[in-house]
Structure 1
Amino acid sequence: MPAYLLGYDIGSSSVKVALIEAKTGRLFASASSPDQEMTIQAPRSGWGEQHPDVWWQELVRATHRLKKAHSFESGDIVAIGIAYQMHGLVAVDKDHNVLRPAIIWCDSRAVAIGEQALHDLGEAYCLDTLLNSPGNFTASKLRWVKEHEPAVYEKIHKIMLPGDYIALRLTGEIQTTASGLSEGILWDFKNNQVAHHLLDYFGLDESLLSEVVPTFGYQAGMSAQAAEILGLKSGTPVTYRAGDQPNNAFSLNVLRSSEVAATAGTSGVVYGITKEISPDQVGRINTFVHVNNQPENPHLGVLACVNGTGILNSWLRRLVGNLPYNELNSLAAQAPIGADNLYFFPFGNGAERILGNANPGANLKNLSLLTHQIEHVVRAAQEGIVFALTMGLHIMESVGVSAKVVRAGQANMFLSPVFREAFVNTTGATLELYNTDGAQGAARGAGIGAGVYATFDEAFASLERVSLTEPDPNLQTAYTEAFNRWHSQLQRTELSNV
């Protein structure tokens, strides 16, 4: 009898689902929904919201698409894993009704609250105990709700991260993980517990937090109601959950110190593993509990993020008449390295941590109406994203996480030959691409949590590298010079501290 592992990846653009053959570890089927990217609502400049019920509706649609396209018995699913967009704030009342749209990862409204907390609590506490500035993360967002929407705050029974909410809809249980609390800047790394001092400072009731369960292992079984809606089997266990970036690293088998993963979807991220606690003293990068962390054997994920990554590429695509992405990539290849001194700063999707939480907006600089064509703009955008990610890698290197090899999924911006070429020759790292994604990673995580796989190596035995791109000495000088010019132009803006 066949046995499968089901993985969900709840993004801000779409919901993906993957079905993995438990025995072979190979992808059996996948689906996603919607066909067009989900909308991020921005009621005010710098805000970003999505209603959690939309994620659930798209999960239901994706599941039914999977079932319609591929024949399998619901009873053959051994376990379910969940990956999700990080840092969002979902608030529900005692009847599990959502009280307001989720304040998601790219929302900047709580930046000032987080900066004041950093000042009041002190850098020593924030960087040594929380390993992060509170910034505009989940704890600061909840404080914003308490200050600006007190009637909503008074009704809150529990707060959750996006993946916790999906697990609630699947199982009826409200739970989270230590990794999830760390992404909300709600975790005390020194004492391996909830950050009580931060909660006290913000005046937040600890009872609002969810029960903490292990990242891997039995969390709860699917409810009869969810099973009927999805056409799956009641009681099917949820045995894994993680935020999208820890899960992306996991999906690429990035679990050991000095290994580095990258993504270039809606946002762009480089994420490296370390066993040492060494936060950036300026707070430009983040440190989270990695999926395989244990108190006696710590594994931490150090993350540098560029919010305006794939969303910039998507914006350009709409601007030029919704060309297919492969045609957009072909346009980029028609312009020379450095785009004839045209500079794109991809910072138009909320506060950017690598810029000290500044939110300068996207900026196209040095445009010549006589010289530059659309191919220059597209190339400048792709190079600008790479250059911003390179800035992040340089910050990570300053705390001891270096990138000799970077692993990524064969998807999104990494499908562009120009992007891959710029990435390896600017960073100096070899790039390995794998035919996997977050939903497949979540399914493999479920397999570990359910005991289907005894070790991580067993879970990833079937993972295959599909391409390798190495730096080209004949191109590195040109890309280094282009990066230096880009960075020099950035320093001449109001962001003189970068």
Structure 2
Amino acid sequence: MSYVIGVDLGTSAVKTVLVDKQGNIAYETSESYPLSQPKAGYSEQSPEDWVKGTLTSLRRLVEISGVSPDEIEGLSFSGQMHGLVLLDEDNHVIRPAILWNDTRTSKQCRQIEQVLGDELLQIARNRALEGFTLPKILWVQENEPEHMEAARVFLLPKDYVRYQLTGDLAMDYSDAAGTLLLDVTGKKWSEKIASAFHLPMSLCPRLIESFEDVGGLLPEVAEQTGLSVNTRVYGGGADNACGAIGAGILSEGQTMCSIGTSGVVLSYEERKDLDFEGKVHFFNHSEQDAFYIMGVTLAAGYSLEWFRGAFGKDLSFDQLLHDVNNVEAGAEGLLFTPYIVGERTPHPDADIRGSFIGIDAAHKLPHFARAVLEGITFSLRESIDILRESGKTITSVVSIGGGAKNETWLQMQADIFNAEIVRLENEQGPAMGAAMLAAYGSEWFPSLQDCAAAFLRPAKSYQPDAKRAEKYNELFAMYQDIYGQTAELNKRLAAFRG
């Protein structure tokens, strides 16, 4: 037998999966690590914790599988995006990594907008948002000049782990696209952006393809993990790009909806000249010379988690949603907006907050639960509509994550998106995408598309109901009015929040 390993470096844990040539998950393990929040809005981690967790997870994977190390041909990565890792001249970590969900950089975002103006969207193809890497670099430049002076190169999380496993310093295009320093369509670091903020080009690492062979494991790493030094390591990709690969989003028209803590609508794209005016993200895909368009709902599954904690903390999610199917579409006139931590698409607004609109004395817990599901899905529909307005035909959407675990919610997605919703048989998200990059890099398949055809199998599809789809169209128009009606009020309320 032959196997590859996918390593998914998340925010709370690293997950490793062992995959055979038929795409079956033979074994999987995970190791958690701590998150540090030293101040309000700060979110940091120790890069060494990622390395330790990855080595432990790989060792456990080899041990519990009983597979011969020589049968494991390749390994690749998926990683949390945007996190800043600064290394000194000896490639030692200078300070804790500043993560994607750190919000300290609002001042630096405004600075980037002021200095670059329209050129930012022309080059980096994305707005300056707190989560991206360049604002974090500028924050260190302003607040920790001694650290910036010592910095010789920056990496993203999975790239640092890969460096520790192989000794190779590099960054793939799909992850580099989330830094605001990459010329996305030119596939090169932007001298214009770097020089605008007095950053040396040497700070930017070598760029590679996600499926590129970057070498074998260091002897000491092979010894610690039980893997062979002959196991080849491939570049890997950003978690959203790998999630797309793991869902088979590898050709024009293919779209996925991923509902986890946040929600993502992502569609494959080959056109370079699209202009979304920053309403959605435009990133390099891990597929060569391809891109993906992505809209984000900041609090998708998190809205449901918040609702359960606030109003049904003694209930499981299954119990909370048990009677939702007995409530008609529209929750009998109750609408919810999932802006409980601000919003990203199509309203990049840190001050907006959520609402229940239309509360009636007759409404019970199932009405509110259904309204929460519908509100999350309406928010994702806004991204779907932006894609359709660009000329895309979206008739089928692959649903992954928590939103693919509830039959009622899957049917709701079909009705609200007015598209077929497909649930996969063995959905492993970014970890599977990383394994597929290793399989392709190991030349198991002539293309990633061929790999997807062999690895991914649909389990069930859901078709839109015409009457419910029409009703949801009317409700969606009302939902879209809520942002404009409440934005100014929420700005005034912001002063009263802790």
Cα distance in structure 2, aligned partners of 1:313 and 1:65: 33
Q: Which residue of 1 aligns with 2:5?
A: 6
> What is the one-letter code of the residue matched to 2:125?
L
Q: Which residue of 2 aligns with 1:447?
A: 439
The 3-state SS of whatever aligns with 1:135 is coil
Q: Which residue of 2 aligns with 1:309?
A: 300
**What is the aligned counterpart of 1:327 among 316, 319, 324?**
319
Pick closer, same or farther for the CA change 1:196–1:311 going to 2, 3 Å: same
**What is the aligned counterpart of 1:258 among 243, 253, 258?**
253
**What is the aligned counterpart of 1:194 among 156, 175, 189?**
189
Of 360-369 and 127-136, the range deviating more from structure 2: 360-369
Render the CA deviation track for 1:130-153: whole Å, top value 9, x for unaligned: 222233311122112211222222
1:465 corresponds to 2:442: no
Cα distance in structure 1, aligned partners of 2:343 and 2:179: 16
Q: Which residue of 1 aligns with 2:369?
A: 378
The 3-state SS of whatever aligns with 1:258 is coil
1:489 deviation in Å?
1.9
Matches within 5 A, 1:61-460: 61-123=56-118, 125-136=119-130, 137-189=132-184, 191-294=186-289, 299-319=290-310, 320-321=312-313, 323-349=315-341, 352-360=343-351, 362-366=353-357, 368=359, 370-409=361-400, 411-434=401-424, 435-437=426-428, 438-460=430-452
> What is the one-letter code of the residue matched to 1:12?
T
Pick closer, same or farther for the CA change 1:343–1:225 going to 2, 3 Å: farther
Any conservation in 2 of the 1:337–1:482 contact (CA below 8 Å)? no
1:27 corresponds to 2:25: yes
> What is the one-letter code of the residue matched to 1:470?
Q
1:54 corresponds to 2:49: yes
1:314 deviation in Å?
3.1
Cα distance in structure 2, aligned partners of 1:399 and 1:128: 17
Pick closer, same or farther for the CA change 1:106–1:371 going to 2, 3 Å: farther
> What is the one-letter code of the residue matched to 1:304?
G
Any conservation in 2 of the 1:13–1:266 contact (CA below 8 Å)? no
Cα distance in structure 1, aligned partners of 2:372 and 2:147: 40
1:464 deviation in Å?
0.8
Render the CA deviation track for 1:65-97: whole Å, top value 9, x for unaligned: 434442212221100010111222222333444
Render the CA deviation track for 1:292-339: whole Å, top value 9, x for unaligned: 233xxxx21111111212233333344433643333332543544333
The 3-state SS of whatever aligns with 1:216 is coil
Any conservation in 2 of the 1:84–1:163 contact (CA below 8 Å)? yes
Cα distance in structure 2, aligned partners of 1:401 and 1:113: 34
Cα distance in structure 1, aligned partners of 2:489 and 2:313: 36
RMSD (Å) for aligned C-alpha atoms: 2.6
Pick closer, same or farther for the CA change 1:41–1:423 going to 2, 3 Å: farther
> What is the one-letter code of the residue matched to 1:412?
G
**What is the aligned counterpart of 1:485 among 453, 478, 489?**
478
1:278 deviation in Å?
4.0
Aligned length: 485
Any conservation in 1 of the 2:170–2:205 contact (CA below 8 Å)? yes
Any conservation in 2 of the 1:331–1:375 contact (CA below 8 Å)? yes
Any conservation in 1 of the 2:173–2:286 contact (CA below 8 Å)? no
> What is the one-letter code of the residue matched to 1:79?
G
Unaligned runs of 5+ in 1: none
Cα distance in structure 2, aligned partners of 1:343 and 1:156: 49
> What is the one-letter code of the residue matched to 1:132?
N
Cα distance in structure 1, aligned partners of 2:276 and 2:184: 16
1:107 deviation in Å?
2.6
Any conservation in 1 of the 2:269–2:292 contact (CA below 8 Å)? yes
Any conservation in 2 of the 1:222–1:237 contact (CA below 8 Å)? yes
Render the CA deviation track for 1:250-294: whole Å, top value 9, x for unaligned: 112211122212211222111112222344453121111112233
Render the CA deviation track for 1:50-75: whole Å, top value 9, x for unaligned: 33333334334433443444221222
Cα distance in structure 2, aligned partners of 1:128 and 1:159: 23
Render the CA deviation track for 1:429-473: whole Å, top value 9, x for unaligned: 211121232212211110111222222343122421011111111
Pick closer, same or farther for the CA change 1:109–1:456 going to 2, 3 Å: same
The 3-state SS of whatever aligns with 1:454 is coil
Cα distance in structure 2, aligned partners of 1:425 and 1:406: 12
> What is the one-letter code of the residue matched to 1:467?
K
The 3-state SS of whatever aligns with 2:348 is coil
Any conservation in 1 of the 2:336–2:357 contact (CA below 8 Å)? no
1:495 deviation in Å?
6.3
TM-score, length of structure 1 as denominator length: 0.89
Cα distance in structure 2, aligned partners of 1:336 and 1:202: 54
1:480 deviation in Å?
2.2
TM-score, length of structure 2 as denominator length: 0.89
> What is the one-letter code of the residue matched to 1:244?
D
Cα distance in structure 1, aligned partners of 2:432 and 2:151: 33
Render the CA deviation track for 1:358-388: whole Å, top value 9, x for unaligned: 1136423237484444333332222221111
1:402 deviation in Å?
4.0
Any conservation in 2 of the 1:490–1:496 contact (CA below 8 Å)? no
Cα distance in structure 2, aligned partners of 1:246 and 1:289: 8
Render the CA deviation track for 1:10-60: whole Å, top value 9, x for unaligned: 1224322111113x33322222334xxx66544444443333333334334
Any conservation in 2 of the 1:111–1:357 contact (CA below 8 Å)? no
1:120 deviation in Å?
2.7
> What is the one-letter code of the residue matched to 1:478?
K
Any conservation in 2 of the 1:19–1:440 contact (CA below 8 Å)? no
